Amino acid sequence: MSGEIYVPEAVFFDQDGVLIDSEGAWDEARRAVVAENGGRWKDDATSAMMGMSSPEWSRYLRDELGVGLDPQEISDAVVARLLAGYEQELPLLPGAVEAVRRIAARWPVGLASSANREVIDAVMAASGLADTFGVTVSAEEVAHGKPAPDIYLEAARRLGAEPARSAAVEDSSNGLRSAAAAGMLVVALPNREFPPEPDALALAAVVLGSLKELSPELFAGG
């Protein structure tokens, strides 16, 4: 980072792909529900759903993939499969808890996740980070999921931070676009399983190789 000294008012984290290695688990759970309920998976389904809120991807499974359930039933079935796996082992990414706590020691932190509220709460409890985040927002709680800016704008509002003076840590194309659209400084931690598209990655002010690189010193004046 160069130019004007940048000290954020707050730092926001995505959950899936940033704190936990879960994109594959979501994919597996959705594929199973599609297969068990008369649907047919499409080659681009995984990328199409990244960043969608649960009402959005549940409708996608019904309308685009042919799942013979209503959206709420679809959401419940997928989440039940996902949480069953998390109860066995929470797939925290290396250094995730430490990175959040390093940043939280310097600035208020918030979570802006496309995951369902019950999934967020389960991850927060299991990781021991529930008391570290000042706010957590699910895409269920805003009008539009990522790449729309709604979730980051709402997280900033709840935390009392100015979006243009905040930073966001994201891994996916739609997440990077969402944070940028909210006017935040974007820190990219590219998802290795589902890498962001070049134009989305170009929105980032800095690209991390791992969470070990995320520290207050990353920000000028930190």
Catalytic positions, please? 14, 16
Nearest to 71 by CA among 81, 57, 84, 83: 57
User: How far is Cα 96 from Cα 20, in angstroms, rounded to an integer?
Assistant: 8
Contacts of 63 (CB under 8 A, 6+ apart): none
User: How far is Cα 214 from Cα 183, in angstroms, rounded to an integer?
Assistant: 20
Point out which residues pair with 110 in neighbouring strands: 12, 135
Q: What is the DSSP letter of 141?
A: G
User: How far is Cα 108 from Cα 49, in angstroms, rounded to an integer?
Assistant: 29
Identity of the residue numbered 21 = D
Contact indicator for 143, 110 with CB cutoff of 8 Å: no
